Amino acid sequence: MKSDAVKKGAAQAPHRSLFNALGFTKEEMERPLVGIVSSYNEIVPGHMNLDEIVAAVKQGVAMAGGTPVVFPAIAVCDGIAMGHIGMKYSLVTRDLIADSTECMALAHQFDALVMIPNCDKNVPGLLMAAARINVPTVFVSGGPMLAGHVHGRKTSLSSMFEAVGANAAGKIDDEELKYFEENACPTCGSCSGMYTANSMNCLTEALGMGLRGNGTIPAVYSNRIRLAKEAGMAVMEMYRRNIRPLDIMTKEAILNALTVDMALGCSTNSMLHLPAIAHETGFDFDISLANEISEKTPNLCHLAPAGPTYMEDLNEAGGVYAVMKQLADLNLLNLDCMTVTGKTVGENIKNAVNLNPEVIRPNDNPYSKTGGLAVLKGNLAPDGGVVKRSAVAAEMLVHEGPARVFDCEEDAIEAIKGGKIVDGDVVVIRYEGPKGGPGMREMLNPTSAIAGMGLGSTVALITDGRFSGASRGASIGHVSPEAAVGGPIAFVEEGDLIKIDIPNMKLDFVISDEELAKRKAAWQPRAPKVTTGYLARYEKLVTSGNLGAVLKVPE
User: Residue 151: exposed, middle, or buried by beta-carbon count in 10 A (0-12, 13-18, 19+)?
Assistant: exposed
The full 3-state SS of 470-506, as one line of letters, equals CCCCCEEEEEECCHHHCCHHHHCCCCCEEEEECCCCE
Alpha helices in 330-475 (DSSP H): 345-349, 409-417, 444-452
CB atoms within 10 A of CB 295: 13
| C-alpha dihedral, 59 to 64 to 69 to 74, nearest 10° | -70
What is the C-alpha to C-alpha distance for residues 61 and 344, in angstroms, rounded to an integer?
Answer: 22
What is the C-alpha to C-alpha distance for residues 171 and 164, in angstroms, rounded to an integer?
Answer: 10
What does the chain come to in residues?
555
What is the C-alpha to C-alpha distance for residues 520 and 24, in angstroms, rounded to an integer?
Answer: 64
Catalytic hit among 39, 267, 468, 475: 468
415: three-class secondary structure by DSSP: helix
Name the strand (E) or helix (H) holding 114: strand 112-116
What is the C-alpha to C-alpha distance for residues 462 and 121, in angstroms, rounded to an integer?
Answer: 22
Q: Is the Cα dihedral 247, 250, 254, 259 positive or negative?
A: negative
Beta bridge partners of 222: none
Q: Which of 102, 158, 154, 157 is nearest to 127 (CA)?
A: 102
Q: Which of 360, 389, 357, 361 is nearest to 373 (CA)?
A: 389
DSSP 24-76: --HHHHHSPEEEEEE---SS-GGGTTHHHHHHHHHHHHHHTT-EEEEEE----
Name the strand (E) or helix (H) holding 108: none
Q: Which of 206, 367, 371 is nearest to 297 (CA)?
A: 371
Beta bridge partners of 373: none
What is the C-alpha to C-alpha distance for residues 391 and 457, in angstroms, rounded to an integer?
Answer: 11
- 123 and 197 Cβ atoms separated by less than 8 Å: yes
Preceding omega of 438 cis (within 30 degrees of 0): yes
Q: Specify whether 222 is catalytic.
A: no
| C-alpha dihedral, 288 to 293 to 298 to 299, nearest 10° | -40
| C-alpha dihedral, 265 to 441 to 91 to 206, nearest 10° | 0
- 319 and 351 Cβ atoms separated by less than 8 Å: no
Beta bridge partners of 386: 375, 477
What is the C-alpha to C-alpha distance for residues 340 and 138, in angstroms, rounded to an integer?
Answer: 6
What is the C-alpha to C-alpha distance for residues 192 and 149, in angstroms, rounded to an integer?
Answer: 12
The residues assigned a catalytic role are 468
